[in-house]
Amino acid sequence: MEKRKLLYLNAHGTDALPGLGMLKEQWDIHAATNLDQARQLIEHSDFNVGLAWLEEKESKLSACEDVFLCGKQMAWVALLERPSLQRSSLRRLIHQIFFDYHTLPADLDRLTLSLGHAYGMAALRTSTLPSEGQQGEYEMVGVSPLMRELFKSIRKMASVDAPVLIQGESGTGKELAAAAIHERSRRAKGPFVVVNCGALPGGLIQSELFGYERGAFTGAQRRKIGRIEAAHGGTLFLDEIGDLPFDMQVNLLRFLQEQTIDRVGGREPIDVDVRVIAATNKDLEKAVAEKRGFREDLYFRLNVLRLHMPALRERQDDIELLAWFFFNRFAAERSPGVKGFGRRALEAMNQHSWPGNVRELINRVRRAVVLCDKPLITPVDLGLERRQTVRRIMTLAQARDAAERAAIMGALRQADGNVSQAARQLNVSRVTLYRLVEKYRIRFENPPDGV
Ligand SMILES: Nc1ncnc2c1ncn2[C@@H]1O[C@H](COP(=O)(O)OP(=O)(O)OP(=O)(O)O)[C@@H](O)[C@H]1O
Ligand SMILES: [Mg+2]
C-alpha cells in the first residue's frame, strides 16, 4: 500500500520526536522546521494531514494560524508540552483549528490512531467539496444544463466579432459573461472597456463616450479620448444599455453603422475598431414599443447575437456549488472554527427564490462566514430563517413537480445513491426512477468506494 503523506512541522528538526521511526513505516513524512517551509510544502503538494509541535513560547500565533488554515482540506494534529495548555491563546488555537492534540511524551499508538482518523476526516471533507474541474468555465461557476449551454454559447460568440446583447436579471453575471467573451476572443490582448450607460452624468455623456478636442468648449484645455476610442482593438461593454437617454442613442447608432466616431470639436471622423457587447436587465422589446423608449434601429444593431443569463432559481443544481465556491473564496475572512454549511442552511438556500441572483448569494455567504460562531453555518447566519423566507407562489403542477423531485432526491440520498434501493423505497421501477431523474435533471453520486 502506498504510504500516506504527512506534513511534520517541528522547529527542533526532523528527528526530534522519539519513536518517529515507527510513524515512518506508515507515513511518507515531509518535514518543515519553520512556518515558511510548511507553507511552501502545503502550496506545492496536497497534504491531508499535518502534525505540528506547538511551543509554549510560540509568539507568532496568528502566523501559525495562517499556515494551519492555508491547506483548506487539511486536518491538523498538535503535539505540545503539558504546561503549554495553560496558555489560553494556545488552547483557543487548538480548539478552533486542530482535529486532535497529544501531550508529550506522546503515546505513539494513540498518535498513530489519531493521525489515521485525521486523514479519514480530511478525505471525507475533500470528497464533499466541489473540485476545480467540476465548477465550470472562465471563473464562472456552474454545472447545471442551463450553464453548460451558456458556456457553449460564450465559446461560439467569442469566435466571431458580431455585437452581442446580454439579457438577464440583476446579479446573474452579465458583466462576467461579457468579460468571458472578450477574454476568449481574438481581441483578448486589447482593452475591455466598461461603460455604465445608466450612470453617465447627463450633460457629459457625449464627451465621455466620444471624447473632445482641445478648445472644443470652455474648460477643454486638453484633448480627451472618449471611452469608445479607448476600447480600440478591444471590446466595449455597454452596461445598462436600456438606460441610455433617447437623444444619445442616435449617436451610438452612427458609430455602430460606420465604425467611426467624431470627437466633440473634432474635424475628421476617426476610425475605431471595437466590438460591442451590450447588457440590460430591462425588456428592450417593450421599450422599443414605447414612444421615446428605445430606438428600434439601434436595438437591431445591438441584437445580432443574444445571450440570456438564467436566473439562479432556474438552475437549482448550481446553488450549493456556488455557495461552497464563495465559502472557499472568503476563507481569509472566515471565523476559524467555521467548517461549512449545515443541512438546514443548504435546505434554506435551495428553497430561497434569489431575487438578487448570484450577487445576493455572494453577500449572504460572505455575511455568514464572518458572523457564524459555530462550526456549521445556519439559516440565521445567512439571513434565511424560515419566517423570513419568501416562498415563491407556484402553480399546482409546479408544486407537484417540486414535491416529486424532493422525494426522489431524499430517497437517493438515503440510499447513498443506490438506484435500486431508492426505487424500491419509492415503490417505482428502476426504469421509472431513471426517467424521473432525467426529467428533473437530478444529479447524484453513486456510492463512493469507501474512504
Ligand atoms: N456563474 C458565476 N460564477 C461565479 N461568480 C459569478 C457567477 N455569476 C455571477 N457571479 C458574480 O456575481 C456578481 C454579479 O455578477 P455581474 O456583476 O456580472 O452581474 P450582472 O448581471 O452584471 O448584475 P447587474 O445587473 O446587477 O449589474 C459578480 O461578483 C460576479 O463575479
Ligand atoms: Mg452588471
Residue nearest to atom 5 of ligand 1 (CA): 140
Instruction: Count CB neighbours of 146 within 10 A.
Output: 16
Q: Please answer whether residues 348 and 157 qualify as being in contact, where contact means their C-beta atoms are separated by less than 8 angstroms.
A: no
Count CA atoms closer than 13 A to 63's CA, side-chain side: 10
| Residue 306 confidence class, pLDDT cut points 50, 70, 90 | very high
Mean pLDDT of the chain: 86
Residue nearest to atom 13 of ligand 1 (CA): 359
Instruction: Tell me the per-residue pLDDT of 179-207, one tens digit each, with 9 for 90 and over.
Output: 999 999 999 999 999 999 988 887 788 88
Q: Please answer whether residues 101 and 78 qualify as being in contact, where contact means their C-beta atoms are separated by less than 8 angstroms.
A: yes
Average pLDDT of 85-111? Answer: 85
Ligand 1 site-directed mutation target among 144, 172, 176, most atoms within 8 Å of CB: 176
Name the β-bridge partners of 57: none
Which ligand ends up closest to the CA of 171?
A: 1
Question: What does the angle CA 54 – CA 59 – CA 65 come to, to the nearest 5 degrees?
Answer: 60
Residue-by-residue DSSP string for 97-108: H-SEEEESSP-H
- Distance (angstroms) between ligand 1 centre and the Cα of 345 equals 22
Residue at a domain's end among 285, 308, 331: 308
Q: Which amino acid is at 307?
A: L
- Distance (angstroms) between ligand 2 centre and the Cα of 201 equals 18
Residue-by-residue DSSP string for 396-415: HHHHHHHHHHHHHHHHHHHT
Residue at a domain's end among 83, 103, 128: 128
112 and 164 inside one domain: no
| Residue 388 confidence class, pLDDT cut points 50, 70, 90 | very low
Ligand 1 site-directed mutation target among 358, 361, 364, most atoms within 8 Å of CB: 358
304 and 425 inside one domain: no
| Residue 16 confidence class, pLDDT cut points 50, 70, 90 | low
Which CATH number do you get for residue 334? Answer: 1.10.8.60
Alpha-carbon Rg for the chain in angstroms: 29
Average pLDDT of 94-119? Answer: 87
200 and 318 inside one domain: no
Nearest CA to 27 among 124, 118, 100?
Answer: 118
Q: What is the pLDDT of residue 132?
A: 46
184 and 206 inside one domain: yes
- Is position 139 within any domain? no
Question: Which one is predicted more confidently, 269 or 92?
Answer: 269
- Distance (angstroms) between ligand 2 centre and the Cα of 281 equals 9
173 and 233 inside one domain: yes
Question: What does the angle CA 392 – CA 395 – CA 398 come to, to the nearest 5 degrees?
Answer: 85
Separation between Cα atoms, residue 400 and residue 405, nearest integer Å: 9
129 SS3 class:
coil
Q: What is the pLDDT of residue 59?
A: 66
Q: What is the pLDDT of residue 449?
A: 34
Q: Is the pLDDT of residue 424 over 70?
A: yes
Q: What is the pLDDT of residue 393?
A: 65
Please count the structural domains in the chain: 4
Out of 42-46, 257-261, 347-351, pick the least confident: 42-46
Instruction: Tell me the per-residue pLDDT of 332-367, one tens digit each, with 9 for 90 and over.
Output: 777 777 888 888 898 899 999 999 999 999 999 999
- Is position 156 within any domain? yes
Nearest CA to 231 among 178, 272, 263, 277?
Answer: 272
Percentage of the chain beyond pLDDT 70 is 90
Q: What are the phi and psi torsion angles at 239 (to 5°)?
A: -85, 150
302 and 318 inside one domain: no
- Is position 232 within any domain? yes
Range with top average pLDDT, 105-114, 158-167, 221-230, 368-377: 158-167
- Distance (angstroms) between ligand 1 centre and the Cα of 313 equals 14
Name the β-bridge partners of 30: 7
Ligand 1 site-directed mutation target among 172, 313, 319, most atoms within 8 Å of CB: 172
Residue nearest to atom 24 of ligand 1 (CA): 170
Range with top average pLDDT, 126-130, 148-152, 163-167, 334-338: 163-167
Separation between Cα atoms, residue 179 and residue 173, nearest integer Å: 10
- Distance (angstroms) between ligand 1 centre and the Cα of 358 equals 6
Residue at a domain's end among 128, 156, 178: 128
Domain range for 340 is 313-388
- Distance (angstroms) between ligand 2 centre and the Cα of 320 equals 23
- Is position 325 within any domain? yes
Percentage of the chain beyond pLDDT 90 is 42
Average pLDDT of 230-247? Answer: 94
Q: What is the pLDDT of residue 358?
A: 96
Q: Is 271 exposed, middle or buried (0-12, 13-18, 19+ CB in 10 A)?
A: exposed
Q: Which residues have CB atoms below 5 A from the ion given as ligand 2?
A: 175
Q: Which residues form the pocket of ligand 1, taking CB atoms under 6 Å from any ligand atom? A: 140-142, 168, 170-176, 281, 358-359, 362
Q: Is the pLDDT of residue 448 over 50?
A: no
Q: What is the pLDDT of residue 1?
A: 64
Q: Is the pLDDT of residue 20 over 90?
A: no
Q: Which amino acid is at 314?
A: E
Ligand 1 site-directed mutation target among 197, 359, 360, 363, most atoms within 8 Å of CB: 359
Cα–Cα distances (Å) from 175 to 139, 233, 408, 422, in that order, read 12, 19, 36, 42
- Distance (angstroms) between ligand 2 centre and the Cα of 175 equals 5
| Residue 451 confidence class, pLDDT cut points 50, 70, 90 | very low
301 and 321 inside one domain: no
304 and 319 inside one domain: no
- Is position 258 within any domain? yes
Cα–Cα distances (Å) from 112 to 19, 23, 298, in that order, read 11, 7, 71
Q: What are the phi and psi torsion angles at 277 (to 5°)?
A: -120, 125
185 and 279 inside one domain: yes
284 SS3 class:
helix
